[in-house]
Structures are given as C-alpha cells and as structure tokens.
Structure 1
C-alpha cells in the first residue's frame, strides 16, 4: 500500500518524510547493509545499525530526506534528498538519492530527482541545485545528467573509508533556476 500523506508523488513514486520509528530505521539498515549499495559510500562495507542510528538516520530525521516508495505497492525503494546546502551560496540545495539494488536501472532515481528539482525551484525557492558523487560512479553521474545538471568541477577530499576509484576524486554537478526554466520553456 502506498504511503499516506506523502511529501511528493510522481507517476510511480511516493516520497514521504522519514519517521523516528524502528520500522523506518529497519528500512535504512537494510538499504545500507547491502555492499553493492554502499560501494561508493564506504567501499562496500555495510553500515551497522548503531552507526546508521547515530549518523545517517539521525540526519535524515531533520528534514530534506524522503523515504521513496512505489506508489502502487508501497514497496520501499530507498531515499531521495533535497536539503539546503549550508556550505554553498544561499538559496542553494544539495540533491541526492540512494536506492536498493532491485530499483536500479528502472528510472526511479531520475524520476524522484526530477520531481524534487521541480519542487526545489518552484515552491521551495532555491536558485541553485548541486549534486555530488565519486568521479567513477557513472550510474549516479548519468542520473545527474538526465536531470539537467552539468559537470562543474572535480575535487578531492579525505573520506573515512577507502573506496576503489577515490584517487580520481569527486565531481560536482550544478543546475540553476535559470537553466531549468530555459529547458522547460524549450520543451
């Protein structure tokens, strides 16, 4: 069954805020326990329930993160996020997504991200949306490009977990409100 009172719906998805419940924590634990899902995050090391509760789940509860479900069945697919970028210019937001392997290559990441971009430039009033991933994460980069974001830069940071390909750095993609509006008008 589809989630009630979603934050956002698309043709196939319903995005809702995470709740501070064991059930929602269980969903994130299952997602972050898959080595393939965590390949570009921790080098494939599954996160423990304790780590997830203290780090990522706590952050998810403070807004900007939405549990992503199939509308028709309510099946949990993963999450999408669009949260104010506290390190960037004002009126800027950071876009992200993490989906279960069974949901990969079915257009769900793009569908949810496009809906969040429209909401972000529309009623949320952002002027700029960025997204970041490892340079070698071609799947995530492809989603960013399908959403209209363009490559802005490569940068290098120290991360707590070694990840294959991290010597190539991370990439940032950007889309401005003006670019988004122009593409919508061009059709």
Structure 2
C-alpha cells in the first residue's frame, strides 16, 4: 500500500530504509520518550524491525510505513500498525516516530490518521490503540486529534523512560465510523 497526500508519501518499509531508521533512532531527543534517549542498535533494525514489519504487511495485519516528504523526497519518519502478540482480538496498536526537525507541523497526526483509517476500513480492526509516556504531551495530542480517548493509566511504571507511567488511548470502530459519516463506507487505502 502506498498512499500520497499533498504533503507526504507513505510506503511500506524496505531494507534500503535501514540507514534512515537508524539515524532517526540515534537522536536522543526522538528517543527520550521511547527508551530514555538510548539509540536502537543497527543490528536490531536490520534483523528484527524491518523483517517483522514486512511480515506483518504480508499477512495483512499491519506493518510499518516510511513517511516521505512528497515535495523533496526526504525521509520524515515512520508510522506503524501492529497486532499485539498476546491478543486474539481484532485490534491493532498504532505507533509513530518523526525526525525532530519535523515536529509540530501536524505530520504525525496526518500519517497516523491515514493508517488508522486503513485499520478500520480495510484491515477489519475493531479497536486501534496507542500509548505514550504520561508526560509526552505532543504524542498524546496526536492520539486525541484522532478521536482516541484514555482507556488506561499505568502509574509508576518503573520501566517507562524517566520512571513515569504510560497512558493508553483507544478508538473503537463504531466511534471511528461516527467521525467519518459522509466519507463513504471505505477509504480503500490499499490501492
């Protein structure tokens, strides 16, 4: 699935994206709310992140899409949908990450909206959820703009960056449909 908007192109992650993914995850500001600022090792990106994302795309249960600036062809970051490993429910987890110099422009919200629409319209998800460190206001705003609501607070999570807990948000198919009435039954983002 490749999707183009006026500002971006979303395309499935490829092996040629490894350098960009590693560079993104090497920025301590980008990783501050993910791993406490610790970079993701290149070997993990090469041997696990990219192959897993490609496998998820093949099975039709999610995947990872690179977000490319449509005008200049520059790598901006990525957005993903992933089926939880320990759940049999028709739900997908939404995650996203952008290069720091592109924060605050609505790009994360735009990319997240595209794959959220895909999850409900074409992947038969009944629920899409996402989480963020409780202090990560920008990421929480993205979730709220998608129509997600808080469904869980994990207080005092010692594994969370900075020792703060995580907040989980979710959106159910029925709520998504209400938000999109008049748009048609399917956005058909698989073309």
TM range (shorter): 0.7 to 0.9
Alignment of 1:57-136 (within 5 A): 57-63=50-56, 64-136=63-135
Runs of at least 4 residues off by over 4 Å: none
Matched positions, count: 176
Alignment of 1:107-186 (within 5 A): 107-155=106-154, 157=157, 159=159, 163-164=161-162, 166=163, 168-185=164-181
Contact residue 158 and residue 165 of structure 2 kept, 8 A: no
Unaligned runs of 5+ in 2: 57-62, 184-191
Q: How far apart are the structure 1 equivalents of 2:127 and 2:179?
A: 15
CA RMSD of aligned residues (A): 2.0
Alpha-carbon deviation of 1:112? 0.5
Alpha-carbon deviation of 1:49? 1.9
Show the counterpart of 1:3: none
Relative to the length of structure 1, the TM-score reads: 0.85
Verify: 1:25 aligned to 2:18, yes or no: yes
Residue-by-residue CA offset, 1:107-161 (whole Å, 9 max, x unaligned): 00000111111111101111110001111111110100011110001125553xx
2:29 partner SS: coil
Unaligned runs of 5+ in 1: 1-5
Verify: 1:45 aligned to 2:41, yes or no: no
Verify: 1:11 aligned to 2:11, yes or no: no
Residue-by-residue CA offset, 1:54-104 (whole Å, 9 max, x unaligned): 443443333311111011221100100012233345211111100000110
Q: How far apart are the structure 2 equivalents of 1:153 and 1:86?
A: 19
Relative to the length of structure 2, the TM-score reads: 0.83
